[in-house]
Amino acid sequence: MAVQDFWLEKLRRDNLLKHPDFDTPALLLDLDLFVENAQLAFSALKRINSKTKIRPHCKSIKSPQLARILLNMGANGICVAKLSEAEVMMNGGIDDILVTTEIAGPTKLTKLMILAARNPELKIVVDNHISVATLSDWCAKAGLKHQLKILIDINVGQNRCGIEPDCDKVLALTETILASGHLQLIGLQGYEGHIQQAKPEQMQEHCLKAMQLLTSLKLQIESALKSREFVFQTITTGGTGSFLTCATNQYITEVQPGSFCTMDSSYKSSNGTQFANALAVATTVISTFADRIVVDAGLKSLSTDMGNAKAIEPYQGYHYSPAGDEHGILSKSEAPSKPDTPSELDEVKSLDSGLKPGDLVILLPSHCDTTLNLHDHLFLVGDEETLKTQFEPIITARTGSAVPEHLRIDRKLKIEGRGKSQ
Ligand SMILES: Cc1ncc(COP(=O)(O)O)c(C=O)c1O
């Protein structure tokens, strides 16, 4: 059976095609593959006998229900990139959350104080003295009853955020945090984002160097603060491409891969990862011509920051490219006909694909995080029992919109048949 037919079969079996709210372009998640990907990650760590735990980065799934599956499988809490994501996860009953992006500005600080007051397990990162002083002030003014948990973010080579990995500088920041009565320093964060999709040997070489940098800082600072018996509880780093290599360093307590459970075509083609593409976008053919097939998924439903989405078997010979906000083109050549040279308008009889207006085509997003962010809903296919007991068939994809009360995970949801909640 061609890969596309697997997806269509599941859509049919789970009655999504008949669901009144199903429409294309539709973001699909195969729960079976999602769980298999997670199992693969957990068992790979076990296989190398690593004590390192997984704190999955949930910026790519954004759903507390999906995060809960990972927690139930043994995840050591979760990461999010933004406070809005942390809020949705907390509303979904999850407390052990690390926000991996630095927080600044009064709106975010206000939100942080509200969330931290609700959740002492909320953790954030800092990389400079100004932010430490500001956070300390805000915690004091907000009358936070506990110390806010903080990790120092270290630049291990990505050159994004993160303090320079210089022992004196990191030690000075450590001292400033320790001197604040409002902050509790619990760890160091590194993230070697620049090598996630590098070729395996190159990734390994750079990753091991980055881990050496991160963990030698830990050891040097702990040694400098020996008289105060200070130790870092957490050393967290890693992504889908590097987490297994990170975990070979004994001092890395947790890794934070994110894309592994949904996957995308750029990861897949860059380093031949074993994780399966669990995320897809269903599109509908809207027109066919001699040289191209036009589908209803364009820039507003498939991100292009990591290249174009990919067609799958039996259409793997076709190239997808966006043709505007709401249009996409499948053609045999990388570049479809130029707009000023209209091809023969040989409608309906298209190439040799057999596709005609109204047919569904499944595409694999090139980048899971930025594609998911374009969709309000995620259509779930897969394991019937999980779908029946834990999920509506359609869940909120973007955390911009709050999780509806009836979908909160702390409430036991019982669904009769497809999509009918009691
Ligand atoms: C700080 C941090 N950690 C972990 C991840 C997860 O990376 P990946 O999706 O490549 O697994 C990201 C992704 O952007 C990140 O920014």
Could you tell me the two tokens for 150? 């903080």
Q: Ligand 1: which atom is nearest the Cα of residue 196?
A: 10
Q: Ligand 1 in contact with 187 (CB < 6 A)?
A: no
Say if residues 312 and 3 touch (Cβ distance below 8 Å). yes
CA–CA separation, 265 and 168 (whole Å): 42
- Boundaries of every domain in the chain: 1-31+260-400, 32-259
The per-residue pLDDT for 333 is 81
Q: How many CB atoms lie within 10 A of CB 100?
A: 23
Which among 413, 370, 383, 422 is positioned nearest to 92, based on CA atoms? 413
For ligand 1, pick from 78, 100, 156, 244 the residue to mutate: most ligand atoms within 8 Å of CB.
Answer: 100
CA–CA separation, 54 and 52 (whole Å): 7
- Give me the architecture of the 1-31+260-400 domain, per CATH: Beta Barrel (2.40)
Q: Any idea what DSSP says for residue 348?
A: S
Q: Ligand 1 in contact with 56 (CB < 6 A)?
A: no
For ligand 1, pick from 54, 153, 256, 263 the residue to mutate: most ligand atoms within 8 Å of CB.
Answer: 256
CA of 81 to the centre of ligand 1 (A): 9
- Give me the architecture of the 32-259 domain, per CATH: Alpha-Beta Barrel (3.20)
The pLDDT tens digits of the residues spanning 239-283 come to 999 999 999 999 999 999 999 999 999 999 987 789 999 999 999
CB-hemisphere CA count at 13 Å for 92?
Answer: 30
The pLDDT tens digits of the residues spanning 336-391 come to 666 665 555 444 445 678 999 999 999 999 999 999 999 988 999 987 776 766 67
Q: Ligand 1: which atom is nearest the Cα of residue 243?
A: 11
The per-residue pLDDT for 338 is 62
Average pLDDT of span 41-65 = 94
Q: Ligand 1: which atom is nearest the Cα of residue 60?
A: 9
The pLDDT tens digits of the residues spanning 282-331 come to 999 999 999 999 999 999 999 999 999 999 999 999 999 999 999 999 99
Within 317-365, strands assigned E span 319-322, 328-331, 360-364
